[in-house]
Structure 1
Amino acid sequence: MEHPISGAEWQVMRVLWAHPGSTSQFIIQALQDGFDWQPATVKTLLGRLRKKDYLRMEKVETKYHYWPLLAEEDHLRLQLQAILDNSCSTKNASLVVSFLEQGSYSQSDLQMLQQTIASRLKDAPETLICHCLPGQCTCGHHH
């Protein structure tokens, strides 16, 4: 199921995650304030997402309704796992730092992160070993 999706397809999926069972007209209206897309563009994106198995379509009376086939949290976890799988494990911390610096978080979010770090700290190794193939990264473990 996990075929890469474009930024535009992400926007359509976000509407469907928030409003499962929406019609194309609802999706078009939901996106019209943020994007200058024609209705045909949204319908093309819906078609692409169906081909990639991200959503299903069902005709209800005279209108087509769309439902996501993958939960938003599951999709985000898969995207994050793909990033981690395709980068050097010695760079995980800098990825998390970048994520923290670029995102917005409430105090309770940061407290949760702090607690998660504290609980993982006691079992964490002192250093990480790179598992990349020689020539794939710049961590310096392959010299």
Structure 2
Amino acid sequence: MNNLPKISDSEWEVMKIIWSKEEATANEIIDKLKGKQEWKSTTIKSLINRLLNKEAIGFRKNGKEYFYYPLISEEECIKEESKSFLKKVFNGSLNEMVLNLVKSEKLTKEDINELRDVLNKKLDMEDK
């Protein structure tokens, strides 16, 4: 899907549940969000309807129950959100973002070695 819908932070919480279960009822979503969010069930149902309207999720009906399933993949959404964040905060510069995170976050030796390995593999791929 090329034109992914813009998903709000609240809608992300609902999508995470649907992605994790592959299919969920409104009551299952409400139960999963209990304690995590201070939302009423009507708020959660509104979020579900917004996601339906955005065509981020679809549904199938079985008796009186509606089962909601994702129409867009979590991977696609994460990739799109990452690009949006990178553009908004770091003017699209991946280098600036990585440098900022490396300088400002405490990294373990394992983290550093993993970063080094990823960068070395990227270098090797570029040389081919």
Which interval holds the TM-score relative to the shorter structure?
0.7 to 0.9
Following superposition, which runs of at least 4 residues in structure 1 exceed 4 angstroms of deviation?
84-87, 98-105, 109-112
Greater Rg over alpha carbons, structure: 1
* Higher mean C-alpha displacement, 22-31 vs 53-62: 53-62
* Higher mean C-alpha displacement, 113-122 vs 29-38: 113-122
* Change in 2 beyond 3 A, CA 1:33/1:95: same
Q: CA deviation at 1:98?
A: 4.2
* Change in 2 beyond 3 A, CA 1:62/1:18: same
Q: CA deviation at 1:119?
A: 2.4
Matched residue SS, 2:45: helix
The CA deviation string for residues 40-62 of structure 1, in whole angstroms up to 9 with x for no partner, is 10110000001111100111121
Aligned-residue sequence identity (percent) comes to 25
- Cα distance in 1, alignment partners of residues 73 and 101 from structure 2: 22
Runs (5+) with no aligned partner, structure 2: none
1:82 partner amino acid: S
Q: CA deviation at 1:88?
A: 3.7
- Cα distance in 2, alignment partners of residues 66 and 119 from structure 1: 40
Residue number in structure 2 paired with 1:136: none
State TM-score, norm by structure 1. 0.70
- Cα distance in 2, alignment partners of residues 9 and 102 from structure 1: 28
* Higher mean C-alpha displacement, 75-84 vs 8-17: 75-84
* Higher mean C-alpha displacement, 19-28 vs 78-87: 78-87
Point out the structure with the larger helix share.
2
Residue number in structure 2 paired with 1:20: 22
2:121 to 119, 122, 128: 119
* Higher mean C-alpha displacement, 70-79 vs 6-15: 70-79
Residue number in structure 2 paired with 1:77: 79
1:8 partner amino acid: S
* Change in 2 beyond 3 A, CA 1:97/1:72: farther
Matched residue SS, 1:37: coil
Q: How many residues align?
A: 121
Q: CA deviation at 1:113?
A: 3.3
Runs (5+) with no aligned partner, structure 1: 125-143
State TM-score, norm by structure 2. 0.77
* Change in 2 beyond 3 A, CA 1:28/1:81: same
* Change in 2 beyond 3 A, CA 1:112/1:68: farther
